[in-house]
Amino acid sequence: MSSAPPITQNPDIRFLGRLLGDVIKAYGGEALFRRIEYIRSASVDRARGIVGSQEIDSGLDALTLDDTLAFVRGFMLFSMLANLAEDRQGVTAEPGADVGAALDRLEKQGISRSKVVEMLETALIAPVLTAHPTEVRRKSMIDHRNKISELMILKDIGRVETVDGDLIDQAIYRQIALLWQTRPLRRERLYVADEVETALAYLRDIFLPTLPALYSRWGRALGHRPASFLRPGTWIGGDRDGNPFVTADSLRLALSRAAETVVGYYLKELHELGAELSISTELAEVTWEVEKLAEASGDKSSTRSDEPYRRAITGIYSRLSKTYQQLTGRTPARLPFSEAEHGAYQDPASLRADLVEIAHALNRTGAGSLSGNGALGRLIRAVETFGFHLATLDMRQNADVHERVVADLLKVAGVEADYLALDEAARVALLRSELASKRLLRTPFGAYAEETLSELAIVEAAAEAHRLYGPQAITTYLISKADNVSDMLEVNILLKEAGLYVPGDPPAAAIMAVPLFETIGDLERAPEVMTRYFGLPEVAAITAARGHQEVMVGYSDSNKDGGYLTSVWSLHEASSALRKVFAEAGTAIQLFHGRGGAVGRGGGSSFAAILAQPHGTVQGRIRITEQGEVIAAKYGTRESAAANLEAMTSATLLATLEEESLRPEDRKRFFAAMDDISGRAFKAYRGLVYETEGFRTFFRQMTPIAEIADLKIGSRPASRTKSDRIEDLRAIPWVFSWAQARVMLPGWYGVGHGLKGHKDIGLLREMLEAWPFFQSTLANLEMVLAKSDMDLAERYVALVEDQAMGKAIFGEIRDGWERSQEALLSITRQTRLLQKNPSLDQSIRLRLPYIEPLNLLQIELLKRHRAGEDDPRVREGIQLSINAIATALRNSG
């Protein structure tokens, strides 16, 4: 294997690293700084091969517990600042992943901009924020990091001082000093309300200002003002699958706070717009529509008597203030100037109509230079995109809960005494009969289980949300563990109880029941389930009226179930098969991809992942979950958010409009090869994880899974049940634990068995050259192989009580890693990992010297903790090390 080139540190990392050293010296003392610097230098020398691991004292043994905590914080902060620097330098950016480049690429293929505009009229691209707990950093840490990013932008443009007169370098130093003195760990477990507020911060500070600006850019590139096709979504406050803390009150809180946030934003923007539009009738003509708005405003101020635009905005502000009060029950911070009584806006379209009247009036003079541009144009776009709900909130629950609730309703109503005993055909027949009846099942005189009352309260809160905020507030009800038609019909039964499903000819459904297929078996059955679902006349009528149906596919559980390669291939096959089912049903397919941050949970490049989707499955409509640390990484600043939303949009355009890249004969050969490779990989993965005696114990002792469960990073329990079976463990802590121990097993195990077992290397290289799916699959594999470290991972085996068992199982793991690396290098014709991706190679190798000491300290602290040492600093050190390693690895959860 060839040696790697020397690491070249970018200037931002050097600058920020030097300031961090100065901060540690100033606030921790010269002695601490020297100890940390010694450990850093020794680790860097080992990583560069200057000395062997046995030839130098690492300095770790000399650390006291207090020094250990300070050391871990120092390395964590360096990694955070390195991440910031790389994001600024575009290390993580997608080459060519912008809308302008996508339009040029399409135009070369004969696809005009007008064709793109036409497609966007019915498109939907939705990043959906979830509360999945993989973000270990406190919001305060992220806020300081973002402030540094803003200051670095000022430094880029040659500014020496901030607008407040502070020297830029000193202001950056101050923020790093604040980071050093900010407690990194949460003391209390997060509640749903905390998760709601965190999501609102991103929606308010990033999405609200960034999306209108992007639409302006896209409009210029298209030569046409496009529809609002990119709209954010959220699960937070509505995702109760395995989370007993999400209730009807949580749903109401999330929706109310979102309305308060977005309408408050509109009021602020209107106030500023009123200050801007100081146009006088003495100097400009004004349309009668604006005059009418001005006269109706109730603004009697003599100083504005010749300023109809300002008076019109006063009236709009007054009406929107009433809307704010109606939706939130609160009075806005700034009261209107109007003396007239105005009614609230009943919907966002009415507010938009008034704003558009002002824009049309401005368009009639001065060549329209004041009309759709600037603050007014951005506000109109924001109203179109965010409405009064800010982000569409999904509801999600487990199918097992639905069947128990429906069984309870049917029993109390005297319809069916034992619904759970019925087979699928009988269930479907009974549910269809109930859905056709206008009679409700619930009676005020019935005695229901607490679970039933809770679930009914949720759908009633959803119906209330539709009345208050509009139908876009909640459009989707996701069903975890869906594996049959009855699972979707049961949801419609619950929706019917709240008036959200209305029987008739045809029936109407205000909220779409969406199955989540997440295990390998679920994915294999998905096409057959959807075929039977579309075969129901009432479903066909509802789907035809809506124009599309969504299906969610889960990356995390399918990976835990079958391993990385079988997971991605099963998802690809299921999506391809579903496209045919939807085509036969005559409806558009909308796939919702449940991806996480780590490769084992569908992570990696969103741009590449969308382009790798089976041809014909995107169709201009795609939703993707954004979770945990990925939210801060992708949407922490306006600049990074704009780049990532551009990438998502450009990939969707290309995946929708480009011709199929594979020839039919190649498709047949490639698919057959993948079937063979996946089968071998699946067998190897299942053999290790589910069939190896003692593996469950090995996993729980080797990794910090138990200690991760103590982190206060989410409101949801780590397991769905009290069982310690891997099947019942949530995918997030499963992946996160392997990442901490530097194994990264969910991202690669079994792949080597599959690839090396397939003897036709020429065909595999042909697949890599011609097939985006295979390119994306191997690129993600290569990244996770490079981030794993078998030598470091082996040290965690010392934590396993049965050493013979531990060494035997780890031997299988190491063998699997070596097989995967050898196979990948052979297919890609490289002599070392990431040889053809130097920027990512540099990024990962830069971090390795800073991660290794953290792993070594974590192992020692875990030993002491598990031996019963009760010093609270040991537990804090473990939690800090988890935080620091996750920060350094970036996409580990």
Q: For 545-576, how does the pLDDT look when each residue is reduced to its tens digit (9 = 90+)?
A: 999 999 999 887 888 899 999 999 999 999 99
Banded model confidence at residue 55, pLDDT cuts 50, 70, 90: very low
Expressed in angstroms, the distance from the first to the final Cα of the chain is 31
* Stronger pLDDT, 165 or 629, i.e. the higher one: 165
pLDDT at 93: 52
817 CB contacts (<8 Å, ≥6 apart)?
A: 748, 749, 752, 785, 788, 790
Residue 892 pLDDT: 58
Query: When comparing pLDDT for 376 and 2, which is higher?
Result: 376
The reported pLDDT for the residue numbered 798 is 96
Rounded CA-CA distance 619/623 in Å is 12
Instruction: Give 783-806 pLDDT, tens digit per residue.
Output: 999 999 999 999 999 999 999 999
pLDDT surpassing 50 at residue 91: no
- Whether 325 has a pLDDT exceeding 80, the answer reads yes
pLDDT the model gives residue 405: 98
Q: What DSSP character marks residue 3?
A: P
Mean pLDDT for 237-259 is: 94
Give the whole-angstrom CA distance, residue 313 versus residue 385. Answer: 20
pLDDT at 588 > cutoff 80: yes
What letter would DSSP give residue 601?
G
Question: What's the per-residue H, E or C state across 168-225?
Answer: HHHHHHHHHHHHHCCCCCCCCCCCHHHHHHHHHHHHHHHHHHHHHHHHHHHHHHHCCC
Q: What is the pLDDT of residue 893?
A: 47
Closest CA to 882 of 196, 61, 72: 72
pLDDT at residue 716 greater than cutoff 70: no
Residue from 888, 861, 681, 730 nearest 64 by CA: 861
- pLDDT of residue 149 exceeding 70, the answer is yes
Res 723: pLDDT: 61
Most confident region among 466-470, 717-721, 878-882 by mean pLDDT: 466-470
Q: What is the pLDDT of residue 420?
A: 98
Report d(CA 279, CA 309) in Å as an integer: 7
The confidence score (pLDDT) of residue 287 equals: 87
Beta carbons of 732 and 556 less than 8 angstroms apart: yes
Name the residue with higher pLDDT: 59 or 410: 410
Q: How far apart are CA 124 and CA 619, in angstroms?
A: 9
How much is the pLDDT for 136?
Answer: 58
Mean predicted confidence (pLDDT) in 115-136: 86
CATH number of 252-386: 1.20.1440
Q: Give yes or no for residue 714 having a pLDDT over 70.
A: no
Q: Summarize the confidence of residues 801-812 as an average pLDDT.
A: 98
List the Cα angle 804/809/813 in 5-degree steps.
Answer: 145
pLDDT at 76 over 80: yes
pLDDT at position 734, please?
Answer: 87
Q: How is residue 764 written in tokens? A: 């595999």
**692: three-class secondary structure by DSSP:** coil
- 432-467 as b/e, with b when 16 or more CB fall inside 10 Å? bebbeeeeebbeeeeebeeebebbbbbbbbbbbbbe
The 3-class SS string of 319-377 reads: HHHHHHHHHHCCCCCCCCCCCCCCCCCCCHHHHHHHHHHHHHHHHCCHHHCCCCCHHHH
Relative to beta strand 395-398, strand 508-509 is unpaired
Q: Is the pLDDT of residue 56 over 50?
A: no
* Chain segment 212-232, per-residue pLDDT in tens: 999 999 999 999 999 999 999
* Bridge partners, residue 239, by sequence: 396
Quick one: average pLDDT of 91-104? Answer: 77
Token pair recorded at residue 137: 């950093």
Residue 307 has pLDDT above 70, yes or no: yes
Asked if the model's pLDDT at residue 105 lies above 80, the reply is yes
| β partners of residue 416 | none
Do residues 595 and 624 touch, judged by C-beta distance below 8 A? yes
> Has 147 been annotated as catalytic?
no
Helix (H) / strand (E) containing 751? helix 751-757
Question: Which of 30-39, 91-100, 469-478 has the highest average model confidence (pLDDT)?
Answer: 469-478
**For residue 730, what are the contacts with CB-CB under 8 A and spacing of at least 6?**
242, 716, 717, 718, 719, 720
Query: Which tokens sit at 374?
Result: 């600037």
Q: Of 342, 560, 683, 865, which is the active-site residue?
A: 560
Active site residue 466: no
Of these residues, 132, 389, 593, 758, which one is catalytic?
Answer: 132
d(CA 506, CA 13): 62
Judge whether 684 and 749 are in contact, CB under 8 Å: yes
* pLDDT higher at 772 or 850: 772
d(CA 510, CA 655): 29
What's the mean pLDDT in 332-345?
Answer: 78
Cis peptide before 506 (omega within 30 of 0): yes
Whether 599 contacts 581, CB under 8 Å: no
The mean pLDDT value of the chain amounts to 90
Question: 481, 515 in Cβ contact below 8 A?
Answer: no
- According to the model, what pLDDT value does residue 730 have? 73
Q: What pLDDT score was predicted for residue 744?
A: 94
Considering 189-203, 284-298, 475-489, the range whose residues carry the highest mean pLDDT is 475-489
Q: What are phi and psi of 535, to 5 degrees?
A: -75, -10
Burial of 285 (0-12, 13-18, 19+ CB in 10 A): exposed
Domain borders along the chain are 252-386, 668-889
Tell me, rounded to whole angstroms, the distance of Cα 181 from its chain centroid: 29
d(CA 840, CA 843): 5
Q: Which tokens hold the place of 853?
A: 């000491």
Q: Which residues are CB-contacts of 4 (< 8 A; sequence separation ≥ 6)?
A: 832, 841, 845
Question: Taking residues 14-40, what's their average pLDDT?
Answer: 92
- What confidence tier does 818 reach under pLDDT thresholds 50, 70, 90? very high
pLDDT band at 299 (very low <50, low <70, confident <90, very high): confident
Q: For 846-850, what is the mean pLDDT?
A: 82
The pLDDT of 762-776, averaged and rounded, is 96
Residue 496's DSSP bridge partners are none
pTM: 0.91
146 vs 215, which has greater pLDDT? Answer: 215
Residues 395, 824: Cα–Cα separation, whole Å: 40
- Largest alpha-carbon pair distance within the chain? 92
Query: Over 70: is that where the pLDDT of 94 sits?
Result: no
Q: Quick check: 721 pLDDT over 80? A: no
Residues 6+ positions from 819 with CB-CB distance below 8 Å: 751, 752, 753, 755, 756
Percent of the chain with pLDDT over 70: 92
> Comparing C-alpha atoms, which of 868, 570, 564 is closest to residue 734?
564
Q: Give 348-402 pLDDT, tens digit per residue.
A: 999 999 999 999 998 887 656 666 678 999 999 999 999 999 999 999 999 999 9
pLDDT above 90 covers a percentage of the chain that reads 69
Rounded Cα distance between 178 and 851, Å, is 23
Per residue in 447-479, pLDDT tens? Answer: 999 999 999 999 999 999 999 999 999 999 999
Cβ neighbors of 834 (< 8 A, separation 6 or more) are 782, 783, 786, 840, 841, 844
At residue 866 the predicted structure's pLDDT band, cuts being 50, 70 and 90, is very high
Tell me what the mean pLDDT of segment 568-597 comes to.
Answer: 93
